């Protein structure tokens, strides 16, 4: 009988220990989940959930280009968007849901707001751009992110070649300013930027200022309709332009990024492969 009592007592003690361990694990898991949720809620962006950001400033850059500034809930927070990533914006236009990817042009360390540079296209194109142009200060925009497959690491290549067309400059600009403003960076950047006219060149002053200030950065403009006495590229971006201003492949040391209209992206990829660039030395935004 005494042995039986001892066994029952031992069994009860063991059950109590197991119960305590399980309870501790459950409480720990609940605490961790709660922490992660609180941490997630503090982040300005969420990759799944669209969040509202109010428009606080709108600047007319040119006849068809606007710069929009959207506020963060915390004036001391940054957007926390990794280099090479973009966001998606969503709106309901004419009873249809529309979403588009955009890359902010504000520096990564900017606190309290982020900026989008948008070219407004006439109907029937540019549904989202025209919607954005209709926004007034105080209106909110639905945004989620980060999104994108490209990941940049400091000094990942000795040289980055970039080929941009029109608004395709925005993901490049994000990288350019971050790399050139980082004192630990040694990466050189060679940009070819194609547009129709001089007036279409987005961020022209900023890019030329970077080129004057940073020897590691060079920019070459190509125009389809150049003005008189134009000294840079004419027509479409060609193999000759790429050879002269970005150069031939250097396996593992040089990477070429490109972003523009689909026909341009297709043509650039074809030329770069013909030049001997490998697939993993190329990336299309």
Check 86, 241, 245, 258 and give the catalytic one.
86
Same domain membership, residue 97 and residue 58: yes
Where residue 3 falls among pLDDT bands split at 50, 70, 90? low
Active site annotation includes 259: yes
DSSP 8-state secondary structure symbol assigned to residue 174:
H
Please tell me whether 170 is known to bind a ligand: yes
Question: Which one is catalytic: 102, 131, 152, 277?
Answer: 102
Question: pLDDT of 165-174, one tens digit each?
Answer: 999 999 999 9
103 a catalytic residue: yes
C-alpha to C-alpha distances, 184 to 155, 230, 242, 268, nearest whole angstrom: 8, 36, 28, 31
Residue 94 is predicted with a pLDDT of: 87
- Boundary (domain end) residue, out of 107, 127, 147: 147
Residue 78 falls in the annotated catalytic set: no
Q: Which domain holds residue 134?
A: 51-147
**Of 65, 173, 245, 259, which is the active-site residue?**
259
Whether 101 has a binding-site annotation, put simply, is yes
Count of domains forming the chain: 2
Known binding residue 128? Answer is yes
Is 129 assigned a ligand-binding role in the annotation? yes
CA-based nearest residue to 51, from 148, 140, 135: 140
Q: Is 119 annotated as a binding residue?
A: yes
The yes-or-no verdict on residue 203 having pLDDT over 60 is yes
Confidence check: pLDDT of 1 > 80: no
- Please tell me which residue in 65, 103, 167, 187 is annotated as part of the active site: 103
Q: Could you give the 3-state DSSP secondary structure of residue 14?
A: helix
Residue at a domain's end among 117, 147, 177: 147
Which CATH number is 191's domain given? 3.40.50.80
pLDDT digit string (tens) for 81-137?
999 999 999 999 989 999 999 999 999 999 999 999 999 999 888 999 999 999 999
DSSP class of 121: P
For residue 199, pLDDT beyond 60: yes
Domain boundary among 126, 147, 168: 147
Q: Long-range contacts for 122-130 (Cβ within 8 Å, ≥24 apart)?
A: 127/93, 127/98, 128/89, 128/91, 128/93, 128/98, 128/99, 128/100
Model pTM?
A: 0.83
Write down the pLDDT at residue 124.
87
Instruction: Report how far residue 163's alpha carbon sits from residue 219's, in angstroms, rounded to the nearest whole number.
Output: 10
Helix axes 204-213, 169-180, angle to 10 degrees: 30
Mean pLDDT of 32-53: 74
């Amino acid at each position: 009988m005494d042995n039986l009592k001892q066994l029952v007592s031992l069994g009860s003690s063991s059950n109590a220990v197991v119960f305590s361990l399980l309870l501790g694990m459950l409480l720990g898991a609940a605490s961790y989940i709660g922490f992660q949720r609180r941490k997630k809620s503090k982040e300005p962006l969420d990759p799944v959930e669209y969040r509202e950001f109010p428009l606080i400033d709108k600047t007319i850059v040119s006849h068809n280009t606007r710069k929009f500034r959207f506020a963060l809930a915390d004036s001391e927070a940054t957007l926390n968007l990794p280099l090479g990533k973009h966001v998606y914006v969503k709106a309901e236009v004419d009873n249809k849901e529309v979403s588009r990817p955009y890359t902010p042009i504000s520096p990564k360390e900017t606190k309290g707001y982020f900026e989008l540079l948008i070219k407004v296209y006439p109907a029937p194109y540019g549904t989202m751009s025209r919607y954005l142009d209709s926004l007034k200060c105080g209106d909110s925009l639905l945004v989620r992110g980060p999104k994108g497959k490209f990941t940049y690491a400091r000094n990942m290549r000795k040289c980055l070649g970039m080929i941009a067309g029109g608004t395709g400059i925005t993901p490049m600009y994000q990288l350019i300013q971050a790399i050139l403003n980082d004192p630990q960076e040694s990466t050189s950047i060679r940009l070819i930027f194609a547009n129709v006219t001089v007036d279409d060149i987005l961020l022209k002053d900023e890019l030329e200022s970077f080129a004057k200030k940073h020897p590691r950065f060079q920019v070459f403009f190509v125009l389809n309709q150049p003005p008189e006495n134009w000294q840079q590229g004419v027509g479409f971006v060609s193999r000759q332009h790429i050879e002269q201003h970005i150069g031939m492949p250097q396996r593992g040391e040089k990477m070429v990024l490109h972003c523009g209209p689909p026909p341009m992206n297709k043509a650039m990829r074809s030329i770069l492969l013909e030049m001997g660039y490998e697939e993993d030395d190329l990336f299309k935004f």
